[in-house]
Amino acid sequence: MDTNQPVGNFGGEQYALQLFEETVGRKGRSATIADAEGDLSFPKNNVFVDVSGATVLTRRALNVMNYLACSAPVEQLEFEYDVDYFKFLVNYPSRNHKHLVEALREAQKASVVVRRERPDASAGGTNPEFVSIPLVGLVGLANGRVYFRFDPAMRKLHKTYRGYTFLSLRITSNFRSTYAHALYEKLKSVEFKGSPTEWLTVEEARTWMGAHDAKFMDEFKEFRRYALTVALQQINEMSDLYVEYETRTAQGSKKVTHLRFTFREQEGAMVLSLRQTETRKTIYDTLKGEFGVGASDIQALMKDPETYTPEQIQEAIEFVRHRVANNTKKVRFPGRLFLKALKEGWTVPTAELKGQVERTAVQPVRSNVAAEGVAQEHTKALDAELRKAFERESEQGFKRYVESPAELRAELWTSFTRTHRYRALKKQLSLDPIKDAAPDTLLMSNDRLRQAFGDHVRLALDKVAKKKALAAQTSLGLA
């Protein structure tokens, strides 16, 4: 494998900007990635995992800088982004930038230390060497923009396949404790070795959690109270890992000298919320679009989840699909049949399935597949598939723009130039400000600009077409 081949962040810059605009449009200016109905993943070099003495906001900021840099060319050292976009990714809803500025300044103090022993023939032994490289160099916040610059050595580490861990920005940006943040990333970096971890001395465990400089935690009981308990509570509540620990005492003593962590996959709040959102939307789309069930009936079902669970609803859905696929008599009103099947508790009879080939129409809820994808490691193939889908939809949007009347085309371009996505691309692509009609020649020759604009057109036109459906979903808490 070519270790110099760049690693792209899952979903990419375009997807992140789209997620930002959709969430802010739905939740308001103070919305953050915690409110998003999608996730962003990125490859983090394991060299960057061990960061000590940093607040949780600083660790979040470093992760966001890593995320924004990992898909850019290795030659690019300087980055500039809209502060609202940066705050969205960092999960910083406050309009007071004091703590954000402090976190950016603190980020400059974090560094990577590389040590090695070189043979020293003259001394007949070894010559220890080390180099310390700051994780980020120049940082700044001015005129509504966030600026940061990396050392060239850092950019090479951002773009290597060797020794990295895929992390969820939505999960890591939601930790409130620096100890939870540090332990979670450390466990993710060693997850491939399996559970439990190796036995660690208490001092090594403190180092894993970035607590080795806290002298008041020298005693294990203080370390357990202020770091371990807090970290495990937050990790188990929010993340895709459920973590516990075991201790070992010195022989003939009650003093804890070692501990190790056990962990397993789970669906914490950040994972489960995505699954629930996807499941509810999938059920709504099926009942409304496929079966023609009325909005008032759907609302009644969603308001009473104890009487009609998602599993019961899905069983009724499968019953109707089975009847539609197998009955010689056409099912004229699948919505009515669904409501009756749900009320009566009808399911697909096993006798009717004997001797039949399993039908693709009878499938588990599609959201289960999506939810499993969220929980699994985001692979390069999945990343490429998402990019292809985005490019395909963007080109369709651009085609709709070309086929639109001149007046509508001008309105679409004007609205696009007001978005964060356009401002980011204008800076990165060194575009001149254009006040009149859209530069069709430039759009045709620049793939990134055309795809971003095409996606904007698609969303803008679909928003008008789906106004009624969105209003119904909003009343049900589904949008």
Q: For residue range 236-288, what is the model confidence (pLDDT) as tens digits?
A: 888 888 889 999 888 888 888 899 999 888 776 655 555 555 555 666 667 76
Whole-model pTM: value is 0.59
Q: Which of 219-223, 446-450, 464-468 has the highest mean pLDDT?
A: 219-223
Where residue 108 falls among pLDDT bands split at 50, 70, 90? confident
pLDDT at 230 over 60: yes
Category of 115 on φ-ψ map: left (φ > 0), alpha (ψ -120 to 50) or beta: beta
Closest-CA residue to 36 (of 89, 73, 113): 89
Structure-token pair, residue 262: 């056990």
Query: Can you tell me the distance from the alpha carbon of 473 to that of 172, in angstroms, rounded to the nearest whole number?
Result: 29
Closest-CA residue to 283 (of 302, 270, 304, 267): 302
- In terms of DSSP bridges, do strands 164-168 and 139-142 run parallel, antiparallel, or are they unpaired? unpaired
Query: Can you tell me the distance from the alpha carbon of 479 to that of 471, in angstroms, rounded to the nearest whole number?
Result: 8
Q: Packing angle between helix 295-303 and helix 467-475, nearest 10 degrees?
A: 30
8 A C-beta contact, residue 418 and residue 25:
no
Structure-token pair, residue 248: 């070992």
- How many C-beta neighbours within 10 Å does residue 322 have? 19
8 A C-beta contact, residue 128 and residue 339:
no
Q: What angle do CA 46, 48, 51 make, to 5 degrees?
A: 125
Residue, of 8 and 115, whose pLDDT is higher: 115
Architecture of the CATH domain 175-266: Orthogonal Bundle (1.10)
8 A C-beta contact, residue 124 and residue 66:
no
360: enclosing H helix or E strand: none
pLDDT of residue 376: 44
Where residue 121 falls among pLDDT bands split at 50, 70, 90? low
Residue 274, phi then psi, degrees to nearest 5: -65, -40
What dihedral do alpha carbons 286, 288, 294, 297 form, nearest 10°?
40
Query: Can you tell me the distance from the alpha carbon of 330 to that of 215, in angstroms, rounded to the nearest whole number?
Result: 75
Query: Can you tell me the distance from the alpha carbon of 374 to that of 396, in angstroms, rounded to the nearest whole number?
Result: 27
Listed in order, the ranges of the chain carrying CATH 1.10.10.10 are: 1-116+129-170, 175-266
Cα 72 to Cα 60, 67, 165: the distances in Å are 19, 10, 18
| 450-462 residue pLDDT tens | 888 888 888 888 7
Query: Can you tell me the distance from the alpha carbon of 146 to that of 246, in angstroms, rounded to the nearest whole number?
Result: 43
Beta bridge pairs of residue 82: 145
Residues in the chain: 479
CATH of domain 1-116+129-170: 1.10.10.10
What dihedral do alpha carbons 402, 403, 406, 412 form, nearest 10°?
-60
Q: In whole angstroms, what separates CA 442 from the centre of its chain?
A: 32
Query: Can you tell me the distance from the alpha carbon of 84 to that of 82, in angstroms, rounded to the nearest whole number?
Result: 6
| 304-330 residue pLDDT tens | 555 666 667 777 888 888 777 776 567
Q: In whole angstroms, what separates CA 53 from the centre of its chain?
A: 25
